[in-house]
Structure 1
Amino acid sequence: MLLNTPQCDFGWKAPDFTLKDASGREYSLSDNLGNKGLVVAFICNHCPYVQAIANRLADDMKELQAQGINVLAVMSNDYHLVPSDGPEYMQKFSSHFGFTFPYLVDEGQKVGKAFGAICTPDFFGFNKSGELQYRGRLDDARMDGSADRTKELVNAMVQISETGIGPTQQMASMGCSIKWR
């Protein structure tokens, strides 16, 4: 089912969380906030929308990381319902696309629910104070992988890292519904 995300709730502060990646290493929101902000991306392996952007996602996140903006990806789907989203497949997916950021398992789905995540992909961009300043899509490219695109998330996060404030015009993300338990 195709869903769109709600508009950005500017200034919302996400609750801190600690999640593990597929190999058991822990990461927390507070430890990764950073001086230039943080992107929290809700993704999963099986979603065709995530698969369509995975290469661009890897490239754009490398670009943000090179500018000092941190990135965490969270998988909140019930992987008992969708086994291809399980931790062992997360490692393969991350490696296949060259992710340079942690890809975390939200086993209890508490983080996805606390964020109000709607779909995969669903992107949240925070300033250095932990205030939400972006909720939208990665870019405006078509599903066919068109080379012409505006890097919505990259441009927003650069602005947020420089000013602390996100753009007022944001394009809602769209994708598959999160598979809740």
Structure 2
Amino acid sequence: MKKLYYCLSLLSGLLLAMHPPFPLEIGAPVPKADLVLRDCSGQDITLNKAKKTNGLLVMFSGNNCPYIQRNQGRTKSICEHALSSNIGVVLVNTNLGADEKSILAGMKSYADEQQFNWYYVADKKAELAEAFDANHMPECYLFNQQGKLVYKGAIDDSPGNADAVKLKHLENAITDMLAGKAARVAATTALGCNIKRF
């Protein structure tokens, strides 16, 4: 009986380690904040180091997803807005596959082409995606000065069509956060390409 209990406990622990039991809730601290991540420039960083005085924006992204292509201008604009507001920015690519070296080279080429001046990191073994419970690209997580989650979800209300945008959810959340207010909308549904778990 003790052996069975031990085996069940071990299995339960493994399942929890593979997938978080609950989604990341508003008010939660930055997950895996000290996990060492490889930026496409070859530099190693952590989310804690990337955080700036006014907070941190983490966005799950990639190179080739059609939704990423449709959101290129919006991604660049909101990331520049965050940086200019002294909010650290980290884009995370989880869809890596086995060949990390060529993936990082592709990420660097894409970042150069898009003129990124923020971090674009590889999420080996989908560790960040699991910790954040992120499932789509683009999917955004905004943390305040204290490293607490204040917004999660989509950049805006029309990820498939920039011309149809009515509500800029992430921009509004940044504005509210900088004003010391709770986000008027704290969570939205992120639509986009699925994040794969390799």
TM-score, normalization by structure 2: 0.78
Unaligned runs of 5+ in 2: 1-21
Greater percentage in strand: 1
Deviations 1:12-56 (A, max 9, x none): 112312201123101211112222111100111121111110121
**How far is the alpha carbon of 1:167 from its aligned partner?**
2.8
Q: What are the superposed Cα offsets for residues 91-126 of structure 1, whole Å, 9 maximum, x if unpaired? A: 121122222211001122211111111111110011
| SS of structure 2 residue aligned to 1:40 | strand
Residue 12 of structure 1 pairs with residue 25 of structure 2:
no
CA distance in 1, matches of 2:23, 2:130: 16
The correspondence for 1:125, drawn from 142, 145, 149, is 142
Root-mean-square deviation (CA, aligned residues, Å) is 2.3
Does the 8 Å contact 1:36/1:162 carry over to 2? no
Which has the higher relative contact order, 1 or 2, with Cα contacts under 8 A spaced 6 or more apart?
1
Q: Deviations over 1:109-152 (max 9, x none)?
A: 21111111111111001111111110111112352431754322
Task: Supply the distance in 1 between the matched residues of 2:103 and 2:161 (Cα, whole angstroms).
Answer: 27
- The Cα of 1:170 is off from its aligned counterpart by 3.6
Q: Deviations over 1:40-86 (max 9, x none)?
A: 001111211111101211012111211111110111113338x9x81
Which residue does the alignment assign to 1:41?
A: 59
Q: How does 1:88-103 map to 2 (within 5 A)?
A: 88-103=105-120
Residue 166 of structure 1 aligns to a residue whose secondary structure is coil
Could you tell me the percent identity over the aligned residues?
A: 26
Say how many residue pairs are matched: 174
Q: Give the TM-score, by structure 1 length.
A: 0.85
Whole-Å separation in 2 of the counterparts to 1:102 and 1:57: 13
Runs of 4+ in 1 over 4 A off after TM superposition: none
**CA distance in 2: counterparts of 1:103 and 1:86, whole angstroms:** 12
Larger CA Rg, structure 1 vs 2: 2
Query: How far did residue 9 of structure 1 move?
Result: 1.2
On the 8 A contact 2:59/2:138 being kept in 1, the answer is yes
Show the counterpart of 1:158: 175
Q: How many angstroms apart in 2 are the aligned matches of 1:95 and 1:120?
A: 20
Letter paired with 1:55: G
- Aligned partners of 1:58 and 1:100 also within 8 Å: no
1:24 maps to 42
